[in-house]
Amino acid sequence: MKVVETVSGIRETLANMRTAPGKRLKVGFVPTMGYLHEGHQSLLSKAKAECDIVVLSIFVNPLQFGPNEDFDKYPRDSERDLRLAEQSGCDVVFMPSVQEMYPNPIRTSVSVKGVTERLCGASRPGHFDGVAAVVLKLFHIVQPDKAYFGLKDAQQVAVISQMVSDLNVPVDIVPCPILREADGLAMSSRNVYLSAEERREALVLSKALGMAERLAQEEGLTFEALRNKIEGEIRSTPLADIDYIEVLSYPELEPVDPSMETVSRTSDMIVALAVKFGKTRLIDNVILHRK
């Protein structure tokens, strides 16, 4: 496995690897902020199965963190990351410095309207502009055929898919299922922040979303009722501090009239939530497929 830290280095490495005699090799790309877990590893495995060359990037992107967010304390462990990447069959790791990615202050902004206005877009102003810019930069640097993203950040997948479609970026976006711990907690690099007690209480999120999936089978239940039941469940947990709970169309992420619509739906929906436990903000979601 090769580890490359510069833009020119990764371009040269991939140019050389791509030129197999008589065959156009496919590059699969998994962009991450590092501190890998099994969720990331599942993306690498999928890329390995579908492509000839698997590239992982590890870059904690300052542009997508707000001034009071956790950029500085975001967990980093590149030695462990490289070990896990190699185990998952990764071929090349791109691990640039902030200086390498932003040698000068960036003057170009990339903004996706519509899908960024709700959920984390509302709670974290500017966050998705930072995500869009860094992902577009990484796509231009790596020039992958396919790129793999976890659905835990469902809104991120929606934003990137919209950008790729609007700007004709020559890459296929592959959304991949959320991976969960044995007890249901969605895997996240930020889980490491949780105290034992917070970790225990955070199970309410996957429990409430599981309940949402079951409730969605009932005829005649309105989205408002569904949302209220989820909220009630989470409010019963002392440490849970709700940022948002929303039921939206998927993948458009547009609101439905909560009192009118019933859950016997004609299109896919997403129940998405962000809840703080202590200082740690967790997100999770479930997609309710149309009946």
* 17 marked ligand binding residue: no
User: Residue ranges of the alpha helices (H) in 167-270?
Assistant: 196-201, 203-215, 223-235
Alpha-carbon distance of 283 to 246, in angstroms, equals 12
Is 34 part of any known ligand binding site? yes
Chosen residue from 1, 2, 11, 37 binding a second copy by CB under 8 A: 11
- Residue 186: Cβ-neighbour burial (10 angstroms; 0-12, 13-18, 19+): buried
Nearest distance from residue 239's CB to a second copy, in Å? 37
Single residue of 54, 93, 132, 176 touching a second copy by CB under 8 A: 132
Cβ–Cβ under 8 Å, residues 67 and 137: no
Whether 88 has a binding-site annotation, put simply, is: no
- The type of residue at 128 is F
Binders of a second copy among 146-175, rule CB under 8 A?
A: 162-163, 165-170
266 scored as a contact of a second copy (CB under 8 A): no
Catalytic (active site) residue 40 = yes
Q: What is the DSSP string of 216-237?
A: TTSTT-BHHHHHHHHHHHHHTS
Task: Indicate whether 24 belongs to the interface with a second copy (CB under 8 A).
Answer: yes
Site for a second copy in 168-207 (CB under 8 A): 168-170
CA distances from 29 to 76, 161, 212 (A): 20, 15, 33
What letter does residue 46 receive in the DSSP assignment? Answer: H
Among 120, 123, 276, 272, CA closest to 194:
276
Q: At which residue do the structure tokens 């004709």 appear? A: 168
Q: Is 127 annotated as a binding residue?
A: no
- Residue 136 counted as an annotated binding residue: no
Among 42, 45, 64, 143, binds a second copy (CB under 8 A): 143
Task: Pick out residues in 102-131 that bind a second copy (CB under 8 A).
Answer: 104, 106-115
Query: Can you give the binding site for a second copy, defined by CB under 8 A?
Result: 7, 11, 19, 24, 104, 106-115, 132-133, 136-137, 140-141, 143, 162-163, 165-170
Could you list the residues known to form a binding site, using ranges: 33-40, 64, 150-153, 156, 179, 187-190
